[in-house]
Structures are given as C-alpha cells and as structure tokens.
Structure 1
Amino acid sequence: MRDVQQRLALPSLTALAAFEAAARHLSFTKAAEELNLTQGAVSRQVAAVEAQLGLKLFERVRQRVVLTAAGSAYAGEVREALARLTAATVNAMAFRGAGGILDLAILPTFGTRWLIPRLPGFFQRHPGVTINFATRILPFDFAREGFDAAIHFGEAVWPGARMHRLMGEVIVPVASPALVARHELAEVADVLTVPLLQQATRPRAWGLWLAAQGLSADRAVMGPRFEQFAMVAQAAVAGLGLAIVPRFLVEDELRAGALVVPFERPITSEEAYYLVYPEEKADRPALAAFRDWLLAECGTETAGRTE
C-alpha cells in the first residue's frame, strides 16, 4: 500500500517534461514552442509540480524566470530520469529485432580504427543485435551512465565490473617523412631535438619510451597535447612533431607512407585493452554474443604476435 502511495505522489510525465524544458530554456515560452503547447499550459504543468512537491521551483527576477536552488537540483535529476526513460523505451522497441541491444562505450580511436571495421563479421553472425555506440575516454559509473559494457584501456581495475583482457599494445615513435628529413633524425638521441606530441590520457608514454632508450625524460611531457590518438596521428602526418602511439592504430598511415617509424625501438605497454561490464548484465544475450565474438576476434588478431 505504501509503494502505491509513493507512486501516486509522483508528478505526471507530462508535467515533468514541461518543467524540464522550462528549466533548460529558462523560458516558459520556449518550452511551450518545443513541446507544442501554449505558454499557459506549460505554466499550469509547472505549477502542478510545485504544488505536488510543496516547493517553489522558479522565481521571477527582473522580468525573467530563474531556478531556485531546489529547482536547479531537481531539474538535473528529472533531466537524467527522462533521458533514461527515453533510452529504455527505445531499447524495448529494439527487442522487436529479436536479438536485443547493446549500449557500448568505446575509446574513440580504438573504435573507429580497430573495432568498427571488424563489426560486419559480428553482424553477419548476429543480425538481430543492435549496438549503440558512445565514446568515453576515462572510466565511469555504469549505474549512472547506463551503458551495458565498455572498451577500457588501463589496468585490470574497475570496481563492481567483470573484465576480459582483449590485447596489449606495442608503442612506437612515428613521424612524417618530411619531418624526419628536415630534422635529419639519424640517432635515437635526435628525438630530443623535435617537438614531442602528447596524448592526454597517456601522459607517461613518452617518459617510458625515452627511459627505455636510456635518454633523459626532462622533455617527456612538453609539446602540443591532444585528446585522442586520431588527432595525435593526424598532427604527426602534418609534420607537427613526433608522436608516440600504439602501432596497430596507425597501420594505415604506415602502409600509405604518410608516417614512418624513424627508430625501430618499440616498447610494450604496461597496460592493456579490456572489455568491461557490470556483473548483473553478464548473461544478457546481446552482451554475451558480443563478448564471445570480441574475445575470439582478439585471440585471432594477437595469435603469434608479440605484444
């Protein structure tokens, strides 16, 4: 009985949608235009939410509406809840395809350069599965974000999640042929005479490589910084400096001659790529199908290769 009473105390979805739109625009007029309602209708819906909560969510300041402290806090929670309801509805509709759906967070360059080109093989085996992609560079809270799984690079640490190692990586310095010629890069120590391109989530990469060559790491973190490996690779192609990258992510540029490895002094990364997902989602059919395919794909990819 108590649960029923709690449910009855919730504002309607229509009223919450009106409140969220008004809070986002800080305008009842713009909210009405978005929702195809009259301004009066939006005002009544917001008033109904305020009455039900017993709180003032908006106040008028100099002929405009602003959120109260309570309204601002509530708006964020309502926006997130409505987004999750929308996603849940879309996901439920996707089950009409009989294969289920997988909401997957991927690393941008790994996703575009390694994973996505291989996906036709997965969809041939599992045509009813739908995969929704989003990019995340750093670990996150599965419960808050709502993803079913993620591709993670780093250590085998993700509290509350199951992890499967996919592959390691070999790191090499790369540069455009023009930069190599212009700076006459002949000896390993010559690396210290050119700009070192930095990847934001791998701040230790140059330091580890330089140390492995017996070189000073004083300049290891100096140089232009980029958020993604694809940007680092493109900057290297443009001749902006030397990049230190996983070799498998720049194979296309190496084959095309847009990049070269001036010094064949590779090092193996201390970390690895993992498939990560919450324990409670392990048995979902779409996730299980993707996991089994991905592990097999990575096993074939790395067979006989030194990482």
Structure 2
Amino acid sequence: MILASTALPSLQGLRAFLAVAEAGSFTRAAAALGLTQTAVSHQIAQLEEWLGGQLFARDKRAVSLTALGQSLLPQVEESLEALARTLAAARQGGGPKRRLMLSTTPEFGTQWLAPRLEGFLSANPGISVSVTLEYRRADLLAGEADIAIWLGSGGTGLEAQRLMLEEEFAVSSPELQKRLPNRKALLAAPLLHYEGERHTVLDWRRWHSQLFGTEEGSIGEEMSRQVDFDAGPVYPTFADMLEACRHGEGFALVRSSLVADDLKAGRLVRCFVEVLPSDLHYHLVTAPQRRPRPEITAFRQWIFAQVGE
C-alpha cells in the first residue's frame, strides 16, 4: 500500500514536537536538535497547520502542551520509538554510533553551537551528540559529560583551551540605531535584560563604569546619575532578549561570539563605538583521561576549525 503524500506529517515536525514537549522550551529544543529556534518554530507551525490545531500554548515565560498536544504526545513517542527500533534492526553493518555528551551554557548553545552543529554531524555520521544546556558545571571527572564549553577556565584536574577572544558591547536593530541622537544615546531606548545574565556577567552598570569611569566629574559619573541600569524589560532567556532587540525594543549587552551570526546577517548592529575587551572567554574543557576518545578528538578538531574561519 502506498500512502498519499498528505497522509502523514513530516518526520522533522514530529521530532520537533517531541523535543519541545520534553524541553518545555523552543530554545532548548532547538539546541538539542542542532537547529535554530526559527527552524523549530517553523516545523511546529507546519505540524499544527497539518493537524488543524495548536499543540502548544505559548507565552513569554513558558511553553505548555494544549489538550491536543497532551493526547498526541504518548502516541507520537510510541510510534517513533517503534520506527527507530524497526530501522535499527534493518540496518546492515555500520555498527552503533559513538555518543558524545556535551555540556554548555544556554547562551552559547543556542546562539553559536546550534546553528553549526548539523555541520559536525554531517561530517561525522558515526557520532551522535547529546547537548545539555545548563549553568551548573557538569562533573567531567565523574563522567557527567565528555566535553564542555564554559565561560572561563575549567578548574582543577581539567584541561581548558580558549576558543576565541571575547568583547562586550551594546547592540540594537539597524532601525533603532538610525534614530539615535548624537548625545546621550544610551537614554534613547530601554536597556534589555534576561534572567540568566548574572551567570554571564553581562551587567550594564559594570560595563558602563569600566568604559567611562565613576570618578566625580567624569562622563561616566554624570551618565550614571541619569541612566537607570536596572530598569528595562527582563526576558526569560538570552535568545528571547535578542529577539526583542532585533525588533527594536531596546539595547542588548552581549559578547561577540553570541551575536556573530546576527551581525554578519545585518539583523543586529553595534549601536555605539565603545567596546570592552572581556575578562571572560569561552573555553573547550575536557578531562585529560577522556580526551583520546575518537569522538572527543573529532569534535575538538571541528570546533577549532570553526572558530578559526
């Protein structure tokens, strides 16, 4: 029996549905799948259109299953697991994939790693990658992860190699930049924040004081009396804050690696000339006794080739 092309939705859409349901977030699901948040949102939208109903209730802080999503979830899980078992049994040769467990921060995972990870998987079909997004540092020595990408060095007993030099600066949408006044431009729009910013030390007050000083009579001291650095909307994630920034909602304080793609594509611009060399940089961290494994070596070679481009 040959099914009509409209009899089933896309497999990618079903995988995206399971990933979002498990993660409770489009951002975390995108990182786990090695896709962009936009791609996952598009796949879910196509699946919802095919079904004729919404799978998720969305608001600024959470994503939850609708009644339709709740009824569909166990059936999709069971069906895809059965399909995976059937295909695995039918495979001839090839052997099991080597699994690489990677731990990194939500910011780096969603903004830098996710858009590039598919390239690694395509180049290394014998390796699967499990990505965990967390601020807690996984215990590499105990085997909680094989490899990590952290802001700052690794710690005792670990080997850390810097991936790239980081700078801190403010970004905005191109449209907002065009409207900025010549003086006191920092007062012209809200300063955007996100809930995890303390983990990345992206702090407007610190950034401003290090650039302009706080001595009495200085430019920094004068501006600090006029700018409320703690005001402005607070978003659940860095990705949500950037999305608001792209739509002209205000200024975002960022690290260079986290907005490299947005700057290149013109979705964001450096809205001020002031740039602060960062004291913290992202490092690739491994436990020395785990480094010789082929999948770790392959990932290490790939990521350093990526940052060198």
**TM-score range for the pair, normalised by the shorter chain length:** 0.5 to 0.7
| TM-aligned CA distance change 1:226 to 1:210, over 3 Å | same
Match of 1:185 among 181, 186, 189: 181
Larger relative helix fraction: 1
Name the amino acid aligned to 1:195: P
Matches within 5 A, 1:166-177: 166-177=163-174
Give the counterpart letter for 1:142 in structure 2. Answer: L
With 231-240 and 120-129 compared, the bigger mean Cα shift is at 120-129
Which residue in the other structure is 1:84 paired with? none
**CA distance 1:221–1:96, shift in 2 (3 Å):** farther
Deviation of 1:151 after TM superposition, in Å, equals 1.0
CA displacement at 1:125 relative to structure 2? 4.1
SS of corresponding position for 2:295: helix
For residues 21-68 of structure 1, give each alpha carbon's deviation from its aligned partner in whole angstroms, at most 9, with x where no partner exists.
xxxxxxxxxxxxxxxxxxxxxxxxxxxxxxxxxxxxxxxxxxxxxxxx
Q: Which has the larger radius of gyration?
A: 1
For 1:136-175, list aligned pairs within 5 A: 136-142=134-140, 146-153=144-151, 155-175=152-172
Change in CA separation of 1:254 and 1:290 when aligned onto 2, cut-off 3 Å: closer
CA deviations on 1:116-138 (whole Å, 9 max, x unpaired) are 33334433543211111121134
Gaps of 5+ in 1: 1-92, 302-307
Structure 1 residue 157, shift from structure 2 partner: 4.0
Report SS of the residue matched to 2:204.
helix
Partners of 1:205 and 1:163 lie apart in 2 by 25
Q: What's 1:213 paired with? A: 212
Separation in structure 2 between the aligned mates of residue 127 and residue 194 of structure 1, nearest angstrom: 47
- The alignment partner of 2:200 has SS state of coil
Instruction: State the percentage of identical aligned residues.
Output: 33
Structure 1 residue 242 displacement after superposition = 1.0
Give ranges in structure 2 of 5+ residues lacking alignment: 1-88, 214-219
Residue 195 (structure 1) aligns with: 190
Instruction: Note the alpha carbon deviations across 1:145-176, whole angstroms, 9 max, x for none.
Output: 721111111x2242332212111222221123
Residue of 284, 291, 302 corresponding to 1:282 = 291
Amino acid at match of 2:104: I
Matches within 5 A, 1:87-166: 97=95, 100-142=98-140, 146-153=144-151, 155-166=152-163
Q: TM-score, normalised by structure 1?
A: 0.56
Identify which of 217, 227, 234 aligns with 1:225.
234
SS in 2 for 1:171: strand
1:69 aligned residue:
none
| 3-state SS of 2:273 partner | coil
Residue 245 of structure 1 aligns to which amino acid in structure 2? Answer: V
